[in-house]
Amino acid sequence: MLRPIAAVLVMGTAMSFGSTSARAAEDFSLVIKDHQFSPAELTIPAGQKVKVHIDNQDSTPEEFESHDLNREKVIPGKGQGVVFLGPLEAGTYEYYGEFHMKTAKGKIIAR
C-alpha cells in the first residue's frame, strides 16, 4: 500500500521541480563604465521574465531608472545590482542613469 503513495509523491516532486525551472528568469548583463551603459541597447525575449545583472565599474553610484519599465535601482560605485523585468510585450523601453542623465542612457528591446 505504501509503494503507490511513494510513487505519487516522487512523481509530484519531479513535476514541481520541472515547472520551477521552466519559470526561471533568463540572465542578461549591463555594465556601467564612464557613466554610460553598455550595451546601450539590450535585446531580451518578449513574454518572458528576465534578470538583468548590472555591474557598475565607475567609482561613483548610478541609478538604473525607467518610467517605461517602472523600475529604479541604485547601483553603488564598484558594485553590482539586479533588476527583474517582464514579462514584457514586444517593444522598446527606455532607461537612464539618474545621476548622469546626459551620458547614461539605454534601451531594452523586447522581441
pLDDT at 96: 98
CA distance 85 to 83: 6
**Cβ proximity of 50 and 44 under 8 Å:** yes
List CB contacts of 34: < 8 A, sequence separation 6 or more: 58, 103
Residue, of 15 and 77, whose pLDDT is higher = 77
CA distance 19 to 17: 6
Q: What are phi and psi of 7, to 5 degrees?
A: -65, -40
CA distance 29 to 50: 10
Express each pLDDT in 3-52 by its tens digit. 555 444 444 444 444 444 455 689 999 999 999 999 999 999 999 999 99
Residue 74 confidence (pLDDT) above 60? yes
- Give the CATH number of domain 25-110: 2.60.40.420
pTM equals: 0.78
Task: Give the confidence band of 81 by pLDDT, cuts at 50, 70, 90.
Answer: very high
